[in-house]
Amino acid sequence: METSIIISGFGGQGALFAGQVLAHAAMESGKEVTWIPSYGPEMRGGTAHCTVVIGDEPIGSPLVRNPHCVIAMNLPSVDKYEPLVAAGGRLLYDSSLVKRPLHRTDILGVAIPAHDIALRCGSQQLVNITMLGALVTLCPLVELAAVEQALRIHLPERHAELLRPNILALHAGAAYIREQRIATS
């Protein structure tokens, strides 16, 4: 069984990094995983996204058309991926930025005021990890502790002072899902 996740946002929001943290956590948890970025001009402004596939057997395709889970950190990402999420899948979006309702009824849309949560944790730069905390609480991909450990190991040294805020944001995102009593599976 493979689970595919797309994380998408503006360039600079850390979509690719959040995906890498998830991939590291999956690998350290003994799972098979692939991570593949969009590496076109969107890296330099515009939207950036990555695809993470996690499974128990060696991963076939590192790319999917219909992901099981999507983290959308801006409106263009919601517009692009809402039609693509697999039926029964999950679309987590930043409701601080995206004000429109979702159209699909066959997916679970999860509105997370990630921007506000991130600001409370210290910086709007923490939206990506806030969303990641929410994702791994919502879906049984990897343990939250494994993600925290991946952050500790893989946050670049030049950002060492951001480790605590990142861990704070990770747990705040997770707490939001638990407090809202959103059905997890």
**Under rule CB under 8 A, residue 84 binds another protein:** no
Specify burial of residue 175 (Cβ count, 10 A radius: 0-12, 13-18, 19+). Answer: middle
**Residues 6+ positions from 9 with CB-CB distance below 8 Å:** 15, 47, 48, 49, 71, 72, 73, 74, 77, 127, 128
Question: Which is nearer to another protein, 44 or 99 (by Cβ)?
Answer: 44
Residue 45 within binding range of another protein, rule CB under 8 A:
no
DSSP assignments along 36-59, one per residue: EE--SGGGGSSEEEEEEEEESS--
33 binds another protein, rule: CB under 8 A: yes
Contact 107, 87 (CB under 8 A): yes
Residue 156 in contact with another protein, rule: CB under 8 A: no
C-alpha span between 97 and 78 (Å, rounded): 11
As measured in angstroms, the least distance from the Cβ of 121 to another protein is 26
Q: Which stretch binds another protein (CB under 8 A): 64-72, 104-112, 119-127, 138-146?
A: 64-72
Q: Which of 3, 8, 13, 34 binds another protein (CB under 8 A)?
A: 34
Among 12, 60, 83, 88, binds another protein (CB under 8 A): 60
Look at the block and give the residue holding tokens 């959308």.
72
Rule CB under 8 A: say whether 37 interacts with another protein: yes
For another protein, the binding residue among 11, 42, 64, 116 (CB under 8 A) is: 64
36 binds another protein (CB under 8 A): yes
Residues at the site binding another protein, with contacts judged by CB under 8 A: 2, 20, 23-24, 27, 32-37, 39-40, 58-66
